[in-house]
Chain A
Amino acid sequence: MTFLRATFFRSLYAILLLIAVLVLNFSMMHMAPGDVADTIAQSMGGADPEIMAQIRADYGLDQPFLIQLATYVGKVLNFDLGFSFFYNQPVVSLILERLPATLLLVLGAQLLALTLGVVLGVISARNPNGMTSHLVTGLALFGYAAPVFWTGILCLIAFSLHLGWFPTSGMRDVTVAGGGWAKLLDIAHHAVLPIITLCSVYLALYSRLCRTAMLEVLGSDYVRTAKAKGLSARQVVYKHALKNAVSPVITLAGLQFSAVISGAVLVEAVYSWPGLGTLAFQSIIARDTPTILGILFFSALVVIVGNLLTDIALRLVDPRVGGKQ
Chain B
Amino acid sequence: MNLYLALMRRELGSYFASLIGYVIIGMSLFLIGVSFSNLLGLLNTRPTDVPASELFFKSWYFWLILLLTTPLLTMRSYALEKSTGTFETLTTTPVGEWEIVLAKFSSAMVVHMLIWLPPMLCLLGVRWYASDIAGVGEGTVASTFLGIVLVGAFYLAMGCFASSLTSSQSIAAMLSFAMGAGMFLLSYWVLYAPDQLGTLAPVLSRYSLIEHMQDFARGVLDTRHLVFYASLILLFLYLTRKVLESRRWK
Pairing of A with B: no
Residues of chain A having any CB pair with chain B under 8 Å: none
Residues of chain B having any CB pair with chain A under 8 Å: none
